[in-house]
Structure 1
């Protein structure tokens, strides 16, 4: 663990800042483990609230996570995962750039999903979704995320963390095939 630097938000009001985190995305959602870094005045009240609300958190999982953190194995795991997913995203962007250049990839190179905007006049979300289902791909239409999808650009949300590494090139091939478009 690191101490807050002079530039961090907690350094200006350390008695009013709470840091929270979870291991659900980095290790496994089923662990249901998270953490809080609290100002000293909140430690006892929060511990008491936790005790009253949930006395069933397994101790073994907490101890293993604490050991992973103090031994820096958790940091190494997170760094390796970031690199692995960055490479997957880079491969996705490169495949789309060379084989489906009409599709725009938006978003920052972080997370586990990419936003793909479909071209005007090309196949819409529903057609792409049908093609994807036929090829065994699980994509999400962007329209489901808009409160009012009318007038919004058609697109897809593509997760790139799920396929096994050995199956990732085939998944990229299938995605590029699904996105083929003739102007």
Structure 2
């Protein structure tokens, strides 16, 4: 299920910078504090250079808890839930609903909202769906979807309402 979040961009940038510094300095203690890791996991961090932990496949048993902590803490520090869609077909509707695809600007904004490339590396788990929109694009998409409300499916109407309700930047994601 896709969830729409308000994004505190400054908080996410601060978190990303703190993460970068810990990795560049190979500072296991700083990374452990940043990710709020249990003592048992903090102790394992010294077994290899920190960056190598994140080069392991995310499914690797040693890397899985680190990636989960990265997402959990970034969510805690920078994301506020607006809504979780109750419709499993929302992504497909966004990608393929002809009414939304007829207007190029609307289609472009939807594509941004579904582009993982727009998110930091640690918010791009394998197989995930997600993306980010800045305030102007969010407002414009909410407005264009609102104008089409009578033609939209229930899941698209629900998202249009969430976009209109949100403030500032938004992230849409299925695995945070």
Q: Tell me if TM exceeds 0.5.
A: no
- Higher Rg: 1
| TM-score (normalizing by structure 1) | 0.28
**Greater per-residue helix proportion:** 2
| TM-score (normalizing by structure 2) | 0.28
| Bigger RCO (CA 8 Å, 6+ sep) | 2
